[in-house]
Chain A
Amino acid sequence: MAEGMTGLVHKYLRHDKKFPHIWCPGCGNGIVLGSLIRAIDRLGLDKNKVALVSGIGCSGRMTTYADFNTLHTTHGRALTFATGLKLSREELTVIVIMGDGDATAIGGNHYIHTARRNVDMTAIIVNNQVYGMTGGQYSPTTPYGARTTTTPYGMVEHAFDISALAVAADASYVARCTVYHAALLDQLIEAGIRKKGFSSVEVLSNCHTQFGRRNKMASPVKMLEWFKENAVRMQAASKMKPEERAGKFIIGVLADSERPSYNEEYERARERARGIRNEPKPPARCEG
Chain B
Amino acid sequence: MSGRSKEGKILLLQGNEALAEGALAAGCRFFAGYPITPASEIAEHMALKLPALGGTFIQMEDEIASMGAVIGASLAGVKAMTATSGPGFSLMQENIGYACMAETPCVVVNVMRGGPSTGLPTLASQGDVMQARWGTHGDHPVIVLAVSCVRDCFELTVFAFNLAEKYRVPVIILSDEVVAHTRETFVPPPPGEIEVVDRLKPAVPPEWYRPYEDTGTGVPPMAAFGDGYRHHVTGLTHDERGFPTQRSDEIDALMRRLFRKITQGFHEIQRVESYRMEDAEVAVIAYGSVARSARRAVLEARERGVKAGLLQLITLFPFPRRCVEKVLKQCRAVLVPEMNIGQISREVKRVHRGSSRVETLNRVDGRLITPREISDCLIKMYY
**Residue A84 contacts which of B69, B231, B232 (CB distance < 8 angstroms)?**
B69
Cβ of A286: which chain B residues have Cβ within 8 Å of it? Answer: none
Q: Which of A44-52, A125-133, A160-168, A249-257 contacts B (4 or more CB under 8 A)?
A: A44-52
A63 touching B232, Cβ below 8 Å: yes
**Residue A64 contacts which of B66, B75, B224, B243 (CB distance < 8 angstroms)?**
B243
**Residue B226 contacts which of A70, A72, A91, A272 (CB distance < 8 angstroms)?**
A91
Asked if B105 is at the interface (CB within 8 A of a chain A CB), the reply is no
Cβ of A84: which chain B residues have Cβ within 8 Å of it? Answer: 30, 32, 68-76, 80
Q: Taking CB as reference atom, which chain A residue is nearest B70?
A: A84
B98 touching A89, Cβ below 8 Å: no
Asked if A68 is at the interface (CB within 8 A of a chain B CB), the reply is yes
Asked if A109 is at the interface (CB within 8 A of a chain B CB), the reply is yes
Q: Which of A63, A83, A91, A92 has the most CB of B within 10 A?
A: A83
Q: Which of A31-39, A74-82, A170-178 contacts B (4 or more CB under 8 A)?
A: A74-82
A88 touching B95, Cβ below 8 Å: no
Asked if A156 is at the interface (CB within 8 A of a chain B CB), the reply is no
**Residue B56 contacts which of A51, A71, A88 (CB distance < 8 angstroms)?**
A88
Cβ of A110: which chain B residues have Cβ within 8 Å of it? Answer: 61, 65, 68
Given known pairs A81-B68, A88-B30, the reply for A109 and B233 (CB within 8 Å) is: no
How many angstroms from the CA of A274 to the CA of B233 in the assembled complex?
36
Given known pairs A81-B68, A88-B30, the reply for A67 and B230 (CB within 8 Å) is: yes
B243 touching A80, Cβ below 8 Å: no
What bracket does the count of chain A residues touching chain B fall in?
35 or more
Given known pairs A51-B225, A83-B69, the reply for A70 and B233 (CB within 8 Å) is: yes
Asked if A17 is at the interface (CB within 8 A of a chain B CB), the reply is yes
| A48 → B minimal CB distance (Å) | 5
| B220 → A minimal CB distance (Å) | 17
How many angstroms from the CA of A88 to the CA of B51 in the assembled complex?
12
Q: Give 28 A-B contacts (CB < 8 Å), ordered by A residue.
A: A17-B243, A48-B226, A64-B243, A67-B230, A68-B230, A69-B230, A70-B231, A71-B72, A71-B225, A72-B236, A74-B94, A77-B68, A79-B68, A80-B60, A80-B64, A83-B58, A84-B30, A84-B71, A84-B76, A85-B72, A85-B225, A88-B78, A92-B76, A112-B61, A113-B61, A269-B51, A273-B51, A274-B52
Residues of B within 8 A of A (CB): 29-30, 32, 51-52, 54, 56, 58, 60-62, 64-78, 80, 94-95, 98, 224-236, 241, 243-244
